[in-house]
Structure 1
Amino acid sequence: MPTGVALRDVRQQLFDAAERVLLRDGANGLTSRAVTAEAGVAKGVLHRHFEDFDAFLAELVRDRIARLEGQADALRGSAGTGDVAGNLTGALIDLFDSVAVAIVGLVIFRDELRARLRQARPAPGVPVLTDAAAVIAAYLNEEGELGRIAADADVDALALSLIGAGHMLFAGREGVPPEPEDVGKVVNAVIADVVQRRLL
């Protein structure tokens, strides 16, 4: 590896490689050797930048969570426009891309990784999924303030329902996502009551 390469560049190179390995070989195939080989760097590079492999994986998950911020901004920006079910359907499709689904599986698969993530931010639930639920809840709060869903809607419960259903729809599909219409049916079923009560 050339000298003078910025740490951020090396980290991103390793993260990108880890995502490719995870998609191709699954959580069992994700090892430090597989990541460095995929990245085309010396074996010691990962351990020069991270305490150990679980520390690397924890940063990989945090990097994925940080990407949710852009999605959250876009979704909140859509409040008051289009149709609530359509906005939520698009959000779930964006949130549950193949890498996100694989990373959720990784977090569930590795106990040590979950423990590290919870040390930094103790919270119940599965990291990434709980963060995605917060994105959906923030959007639903905006729609509630705009009067597009019932004012008494339990947005946290709705968000958990949508994320849980979304994960079930997208997980285990070998990279072939569900049809948008199928996602939309689930979204409509979850939010039907709060939309109908808003109209009464």
Structure 2
Amino acid sequence: VISKKYSVRLNSSWKRSEKPNSCPLCIFLQRRLVLGYAYPAYDCYKTLELNKPQIDQLRFWCQYWILLAFLTTLETITYFTVSWLPMYGEAKLALVLYLWYPKTRGAKHVYESYLQPVLARHEADIDRGLLQLRASAKDATASHLQAAVSLGRACFAEVAGRVSSQLQAARSSGGGGRAGQVQ
């Protein structure tokens, strides 16, 4: 033991804490979820549930969630490219904190300076793409539903045919038991 405040165990293995989620990565991920999603969501809820919602506050939280959705989508697309960067997770956490922290309120700045102009410039293209996507999804859903119904009918017909042939075989062989007693 080096000192009472800092004890060092010599010639014995360090034991990990038996508490679940005590690893640094787990703690970091929990903090990211709480600080990036849970706290801002609750603050957004509080803003919405006020008797007279403050439009500026409501606008801020809408900007925050739009940015967070955009960043989450971008991260999903580029994950294998950026995830190996040193301190990536910490930088992402710092960005999320910057976006909602009351003194910085970075979501307003980032949204109005960067994201809103890009979205406004490409809004017609995005809307057109979403309409095409909805139409394609509707067509694909109808096509898959029709294929599923056809497959269901074919399976039902096959099962009904097998049951019918087994009943006929049982009747013709004078099969005892219940199979021969169908009315």
Name the TM-score, length of structure 1 as normaliser. 0.25
